[in-house]
Structure 1
């Protein structure tokens, strides 16, 4: 067994029960500590986010709250929203979707907490921009520079090969319609450079237009497919709720699943999809103009709703209502969305829609994680080094089309685990600071109209 195989086995183990326990357990602790705020205050949260997307904010910051949310969403809404959900269904059955919803509810508390801490401990850099993230709140709040450096360093290392992998997924898809991979990669690298060299303000301006557009294309397309198969919807919801609590027998291409497998794949899909606990969201949100950390953190709940409860659910319902999940074996699960779209809209149009969706999802992700990588480098080694890292990220887009990436994939998950572990430990240990700020906000009628006047 070579070194890469050993790393792969270690990574598979860590991303099994250990990290599921840490992320789900941490989400439960935070949800209880915060008094199930995501349920109690849901109408207010929706009013402050969906209802105030274009309202001019007050307070200090660099970009608007909506731009910050779109930047964070650009990172979380990626190719995995299209291909990750069918894999969860193939390996865990329809019941996996129920557990995906459960972990999304818990993830709202996690993302809410890390954004609050990100804004509380943010700083201004030499360019006058607000910067924040795990390294700042772990170093200044938890008084643990080691955890902060560990989180940022491994996050920076993980992003560069991740960009290459994202680039490859698009280049291979576009190559099927006759465009060489290197041409696609050069175009993508040029577009990303135009955006990221404009700084966080330009990133915010681009993502606030790109993210709603790409999300609408995908949501409307999947909605049409679901409506075309609306008669199957009651049966699908029955499968989701029954399958969540009972083992499912093999059907057609579906090989069957035990309850443990259903829970494992559903929770994993929810966790990986919305990135709650990974420390990425506070990097974007720390730049937002806001009058209170909690007000901006409400956008974290908004992100989980859009990413997991809307986009991932729409993907799942399109796959389940068409019955494609019963026809395609687990090892071909990633092809399910393309087959669903091609069956509904025809081979050419369906292929174009899914290709455009994938391209936009990946392009937006690369733009934002390049910014994340740059900010991690800045926090560790200073502004000059961060500019070098920015260039390296753009070059890695082209490397994704021409380089050999097989040896990188087994390392990516391990690096990401080394990011999640210190970040989640820090968030859970600092949960009482989060609770104090949450209580301060919801007990003040100036912030929350429903507060009791003492």
Structure 2
């Protein structure tokens, strides 16, 4: 058995039915207990995203919007372009439906994560905010073992998973294919840029994310909408195929290929989590840095991250892939598949340049965001003295990420992602009563005396 086969077996075990049930089940449970908050309070959450808190004296390192952009910088990445293509290739168009379902429940999960992150955050020795699952697992749930387990897996995801290899590989492959740039040159420039930003800490990372993420997202969405408008007559049939093949994959490409509903579900949920990170426990690390006087308010803002990432951007990619038939074209995979889909949708080769530009921006900011996540996990385990060594190793891994095989990269990413989610989901379930109590208290106070801080 070679390394790839071993990783495939480990990946299948980690992302088996138990974890899928735990991920979606946690979101469903929170959705029920919070009374469909992700639907009823989404307008308020979107309002909060684009407004400022009146009191600017609150503790925190960055604005709530900058904290959201930092979280989005880590979530909007290759998963939105390469990950969606990979999911559809393996699970058929129905995988996109399962992405939607996972994202719907994931919004409730992300809300709870953001709320708990602010409620249980602390100030480190450098005067910076530290928060996230490791803190609400220890300070809220009283379980230091799970907290340490999460931090170890979080560093693993930063080093081996979402943070480095898939992003760097995607950038170098895309720029070489679209612009003919040598991988070595791209990797060198990318490494220098990552070092310049990440060594400046959360403020420089958040400022960079605040500028790049909205621009890149609007740019990519506008191009996708243009394709949908140009091919408007195909949209109804595309959506119908996506929904139908979620439950009967043979509707898309025949049972002879062995594609089952479980495969569509597994690929949709796994790639959805890779993209929006709901339940993974990463986004609350950024949420904890926000200047805010309310954990509930920041939870609502955090919740929109999943909405923007999956319901909006992944949907755009998925519909274009299915509509053009690129998802089922032999010889195409990953970014090449999405490039082909945009070329077909626009009727010109300019599509591949649009995808490449979007991919480069998305992947670059993901590298920055995961540097911060890994830094906070390191700080939790060994203190502020571990931050600089972590950054050095991280930058070295970025430099080497362009030269690994794609199959190995995705498998490593999937495995460490799944391991990271387990302690976080246990914490969310164990602290669900706290989430519900804080939510009820907030909306009761909001209708009366105004917004209040979460009780410590």
Distance between the aligned counterparts of 1:85 and 1:254, measured in 2? 23
Structure 2: gaps spanning 5 or more residues: 452-456
Tell me how far 1:419 sits from its aligned partner. 1.2
Residue from 289, 305, 308 that aligns with 1:306 = 308
* Aligned 8 A contact 2:38 2:108 in 1: yes
SS in 2 for 1:289: coil
Instruction: Give CA-to-partner distance per residue, 1:32-82, whole Å, 9 cap, x none.
Output: 122221122232222222x42798856321100110000000111111111
Q: Is the 8 A contact 2:273 2:280 kept in 1?
A: no
Q: Counterparts of 2:246 and 2:346 in 1: how far apart (Å)?
A: 31
SS of 1:219's equivalent in the other structure is helix
Cα offset, 1:430, TM superposition: 0.8
TM-score norm. by structure 1 comes to 0.91
Q: Which residue of 1 aligns with 2:16?
A: 16
Q: Which residue of 1 aligns with 2:429?
A: 428
Whether the aligned pair in 2 keeps the contact of 1:99 and 1:266 (CA below 8 Å) is yes
Cα distance in 1 for residues equivalent to 2:312 and 2:55: 26
Alpha-carbon distance change, 54 to 237 in structure 1, aligned in 2, over 3 angstroms: farther
Please say if residues 54 and 66 of structure 1, whose CA atoms lie closer than 8 Å, have aligned partners that are also in contact. no
Matched, 1:259 2:258: no
Shift of 1:141: 0.9
Q: State the partner residue of 1:362.
A: 363
**Matched-pair contact (CA < 8 Å) for 1:93–1:256:** no
Distance 2:102 2:143 in 1: 28
1:84-123 Cα offsets, whole Å, 9 max, x none, are 2233333333333222222111001111111111111111
How many residue pairs match? The answer is: 449
2-side partners of 1:330 and 1:117: how far apart? 45
SS in 2 for 1:287: coil
**Aligned ranges for residues 26-425 of structure 1 at < 5 Å?**
26-49=26-49, 51-52=50-51, 59-162=58-161, 163-176=164-177, 177-251=179-253, 257-326=259-328, 328-329=329-330, 332=333, 335-345=336-346, 348-402=349-403, 410-425=411-426
3-state DSSP class of the match of 2:151?
helix
Query: TM-score, normalization: structure 2?
Result: 0.90
8 Å CA contact 1:249–1:255 kept in 2: the answer is no
Secondary structure of the residue aligned to 1:62 is coil
Offset at 1:440? 0.9
Checking the alignment, whether the CA contact within 8 Å between 2:324 and 2:345 is kept in structure 1 is no
Q: What is the alpha-carbon distance in structure 1 between the residues aligned to residue 193 and residue 255 of structure 2?
A: 40
- Alpha-carbon contact 1:112-1:300 (below 8 Å) kept: yes
Alpha-carbon RMSD across the aligned residues, in angstroms, is 2.8
In the aligned structure 1, how far is the partner of 2:7 from the partner of 2:90? 23
In the TM superposition, what is the alpha-carbon distance from 1:421 to its structure 2 partner?
0.7
What is the distance in 2 between the residues matched to 1:408 and 1:310? 26
Q: Distance in 1 between matches of 2:100 and 2:354?
A: 26
- In 1, Cα distance between equivalents of 2:411 and 2:272: 21
Q: Give, in angstroms, the shift of residue 427 of structure 1.
A: 0.9
Please list the CA deviations of residues 153-179 of structure 1 after superposition, one character each: whole Å capped at 9, or x if unmatched. Answer: 121123113313421221222223332
